[in-house]
Amino acid sequence: MSASTGGTLSGLPLRGRPNWNDGMTALARLAGQLLSVGFEGTTADDDLRARIAACEVGGVMIFRPNIATPGQLAALVADLRGAAPGDQPLLVSIDQEGGLVQRLKAPATVWPPMLSVGGAGDVARTAAVGRALGEELAAVGVGWNFAPVLDVHTNPANPVIGNRAFGTSPERVARHALAFWRGLRSAGLVGCGKHYPGHGDTYTDSHHELPVVAHDADRLRAVELAPFAAAAQAGLEAFMTAHVLYPALDPDRPATLSRRIATDLLRDELGFRGVLVSDDMGMKAVADRYSIEELAVGAIEAGCDHLLVRQPVARQRAAFEAIVRAAEARSDVRARVEESAARVAALKAACTVPLPAPAAMLPSLLGTPAHQALAGSFTAVTGGETNSPASD
């Protein structure tokens, strides 16, 4: 690797397109299921549709620049999902937490920060928020929400989590995050708890640099890890990794690239059986230290099942091709690809969101009086405001 994190990829043919004689191999189609990608603009171009059809990507992420109006978003999602082959449906994802991080805004309901929702202390209302938010995403055909946040807000100086968290104690976070997730599930969506193993007590933002959480293992288990342990036991379908270094757990590798954290701790100790998703591989915490090829293969080796690569297309293709070449060259990587693809298939099967509603129906489904009243019923909790790139 290109940093002092130990080399596990030396000698692998990471660069260059795999040599396919008769189109995509079955292995390459599986490898594609391990990627969700972003794109520019408010429509999908022919190249993205072709990659979806060829199973070079298994999911597409929606960000704020991809949204002009609800009707446009619904048409976009229908187009994206319609490009996928019948045996490999596309999972369209979004970050719709509430507060700072919500891609879909007015005329859809604008939700308060989850610190205000959790602060109300009513898990039934928190579940209602999850359901209502999920119903509006389902109306435009989005089936995977990168929420709830499972981080514990223990550091007022944290520049990226803050009031995105449900509370300042692991108990409150676990109760309300899981209530929110159950609400999402009742609307047909699948969720994603983040940012494993805990991003709540960092002083820097992983969008810009590599944060370090220096707590000892006992503290990490008691606070940072506790909501993830509860979510694993509850059956939450996916977790997202933090591009953060935890020296007490692995002094050399950030969580996304650490087998100790992404497999040994997560699977063997916490008992998690769902999909482990990387945070965006373009974030500087990792992108400034590793090539995209090293990141893609290293994360799969460590235990990640699905990788987020927002942009550009060249990095997305390089990640896909690196995974395929590594799997062709090594049986252990191939086994990881097969294992991860099976988990992603189970995640897709758990999502029951239909195709988007007709445009004429959207005004009656988004920003309803009941949803607006629910969003407005929470008292603002001051403190924890952030100004992170996570908001776009």
pLDDT score recorded for residue 26: 94
Residue 385 lies in a domain: no
- Provide the β-strand partners of residue 238: 275
Question: Which has more pLDDT, 389 or 50?
Answer: 50
Residue 78 domain boundaries: 32-375
Residue 2 lies in a domain: no
Mean pLDDT is lowest, of 5-9, 22-26, 31-35, for: 5-9
Question: Measuring CA to CA, which residue among 306, 308, 303 is closest to residue 270?
Answer: 303
**371 given a catalytic annotation:** no
Question: Which has more pLDDT, 203 or 193?
Answer: 193
> Is the confidence at residue 42, as pLDDT, over 80?
yes
- pLDDT band per the 50, 70, 90 thresholds, residue 31: very high
At 204, which CATH number? 3.20.20.300
pLDDT score recorded for residue 385: 65
Averaged pLDDT score across all residues of the chain: 93
- pLDDT band per the 50, 70, 90 thresholds, residue 386: low
Mind listing the pLDDT tens digit for each residue in 344-374?
999 999 999 999 999 999 999 999 999 999 9
> Is the confidence at residue 288, as pLDDT, over 80?
yes
pLDDT score recorded for residue 160: 87
Residue 387 lies in a domain: no
**207 given a catalytic annotation:** yes
> Is the confidence at residue 141, as pLDDT, over 70?
yes
pLDDT score recorded for residue 2: 38
Q: Which amino acid is at 330?
A: R
Question: Catalytic: which of 95, 151, 250, 279?
Answer: 279
pLDDT score recorded for residue 376: 97
Mind listing the pLDDT tens digit for each residue in 306-326?
999 999 999 999 999 999 999
Residue 46 lies in a domain: yes
Residue 141 lies in a domain: yes
Residue 20 lies in a domain: no
pTM, whole model, 2 decimals?
A: 0.93
Question: Which has more pLDDT, 282 or 20?
Answer: 282
Question: Catalytic: which of 153, 207, 243, 371?
Answer: 207
- pLDDT band per the 50, 70, 90 thresholds, residue 5: very low
Residue range 7-32: average pLDDT? 63
> Is the confidence at residue 180, as pLDDT, over 50?
yes
> Is the confidence at residue 36, as pLDDT, over 90?
yes
Question: Measuring CA to CA, which residue among 141, 51, 132 is closest to residue 93?
Answer: 141
Residue 27 lies in a domain: no
> Is the confidence at residue 11, as pLDDT, over 60?
no
> Is the confidence at residue 86, as pLDDT, over 70?
yes
Residue 124 lies in a domain: yes
Question: Which has more pLDDT, 210 or 16?
Answer: 210
Distances (CA, A) of 38 to 106, 159, 216, 332, 357: 22, 24, 36, 29, 23
Query: Which tokens in the block code for residue 255?
Result: 């969580």
How many domains is the chain built from?
A: 1
Mind listing the pLDDT tens digit for each residue in 336-346?
999 999 999 99
- pLDDT band per the 50, 70, 90 thresholds, residue 18: low
